[in-house]
Amino acid sequence: MKKVQEKEAGNLRRINSKAPEKDLILEAAGILKSGGAIIFPTLALYGLGANALDSKAVQRVFEIKNRPLNKPLLVLVQNMEGLRALVKSVPEAAEKLMKQFWPGNVTLVFEARDTVCEILCAGTGKIGIRMPQHPVAKALCRATGTPITATSANLSGDSGYESINLMPPS
């Protein structure tokens, strides 16, 4: 069973990327719910996640990455209910794409509800959403019950990391 590593709140944890351990998911979910940020495995690279409904947590993601405020963040949702809570409407064309490609690595862009924090959308009024296929990301969305930011765990402009071992020390 292949193990991958997850970095959270300055602590490194090993998590099974194919069958994530419930206690580790609950620990990470607790960090997200309390406004913290975590690094977690995704299908391609490691992601930096925070509670997308917490504007301070979202601001922290921008600070950690040194990301320009005019670049919006992708959001992961657990289900259609989570999607509908963030968007004004779901066009028929988007429904067809979601049926074909979700869960998966396809991001769809929607008009954001007025209740979505502005920094998440970088002032565009639009929000990119994905329903994750990766077991860890799915488990985190389920455990938190909230949408999670999903941006590569690297400084803005740098390449993403396929291995936690390649990341520079915090």
Each residue's pLDDT expressed in tens, for the chain with a length of 170 residues: 223 333 434 677 888 889 999 999 999 999 999 999 999 988 878 889 999 999 999 999 999 999 999 999 999 999 999 999 999 999 999 999 999 999 999 999 999 999 999 999 999 999 999 999 999 999 999 999 999 999 987 777 765 545 555 555 55
How confident is the model at residue 156, as a pLDDT?
73
CATH number attached to the domain at 3-154: 3.90.870.10
Residue whose pair of structure tokens reads 């990455």 in the numeric block: 65
Model's pTM, two decimal places?
0.87
Nearest to 53 by CA among 10, 9, 113, 100: 113
**CA dist., res. 151 & res. 73, Å (int):** 6
Residue 128 phi, psi dihedral angles, 5° rounding: -90, 130
